[in-house]
Amino acid sequence: MFTGIIEAVGTIAAIEERQGDMQLYIRTAELDLADVKLGDSIAVNGVCLTAIDLPGDGFWADVSRETLAHTRFPALKQGEKVNLEKAMMPSSRMGGHIVTGHVDGVGEVLSRADDARSVRFVVRAPANLKRYIAGKGSITVDGTSLTVNAVNDDCFELNIVPHTVQETIIGDYSAGRQVHLEVDIIARYLERLVSCRAPEAESDGAGLTLAKLAEHGFMRR
């Protein structure tokens, strides 16, 4: 489990094809690896990867075909910068929100505009994820926990403060950039809970709605 608070910006140091999947070597820069052991999880651009070797200045990780199919990792290039976060400890402060490191889809940055000292972005999400994105709700973009300013159909707006721009790879975003998205896990479980109580909800194509929440006792009428 992660919090979406990026701890360091690392670099893709090596990419190796391995019989249909991939191994990555990520140089971790200022990320402290003293408490990391083989088998531990580190989120790379929001993707939970397992450290299989720790040479000293970074770690090697396997990337499965499943991960390659649902992320932009096939387009990674050597030297590319990536957001890094170690798995949280039980004593960690929950600074962002609950992040699993399981990417739900790949979005696209549509626009970037300065807004005083902040930067505003508009991002388009895959159509199947838009029902999970709510204004003033949480979303993870390349592993960074962010607040959604507003939603317009399958597009959502973000306001990024200077610290986040400086301390993550978001500062490098421009229109056309693909980004990993992980929606709020609470929304996913709530939809599943409702659909299990009402099997017809899975087949009517409407997804989770206010009417369904009220019908099944999750809202006051």
Render pLDDT for 64-92 as a digit per residue (tens, 0 to 9): 999 999 999 999 999 999 999 999 877 66
Q: Is the pTM of this model over 0.95?
A: no
- Domains of the chain, residue spans: 8-86, 105-183, 186-215
The CATH number given to 8-86 is 2.40.30.20
Selected residue with higher pLDDT from 191 and 38:
38
Of 71-80, 94-103, 109-118, 200-209, the range with the lowest mean pLDDT is: 200-209
Residues contacting 169, CB < 8 A, separation 6+: 9, 45, 81, 82, 83, 142
Measured between alpha carbons, how far is 131 from 126 in angstroms, rounded to an integer? 10
Residue 195 confidence class, pLDDT cut points 50, 70, 90: confident
* Domains 8-86 and 105-183 in one fold: yes
**Closest by alpha carbon to 87, among 121, 110, 59?**
59
The conformation of residue 99, written as its DSSP 8-state character, comes to B
- The reported pLDDT for the residue numbered 210 is 67
**Residue 129: exposed, middle, or buried by beta-carbon count in 10 A (0-12, 13-18, 19+)?**
buried
What residue has token string 């971790």? Answer: 28
pLDDT score of 204 more than 70: no
We find that the CATH architecture of domain 105-183 is Beta Barrel (2.40)
How many other C-beta atoms can be found within 10 angstroms of the C-beta atom of residue 209? 14
- The reported pLDDT for the residue numbered 92 is 66
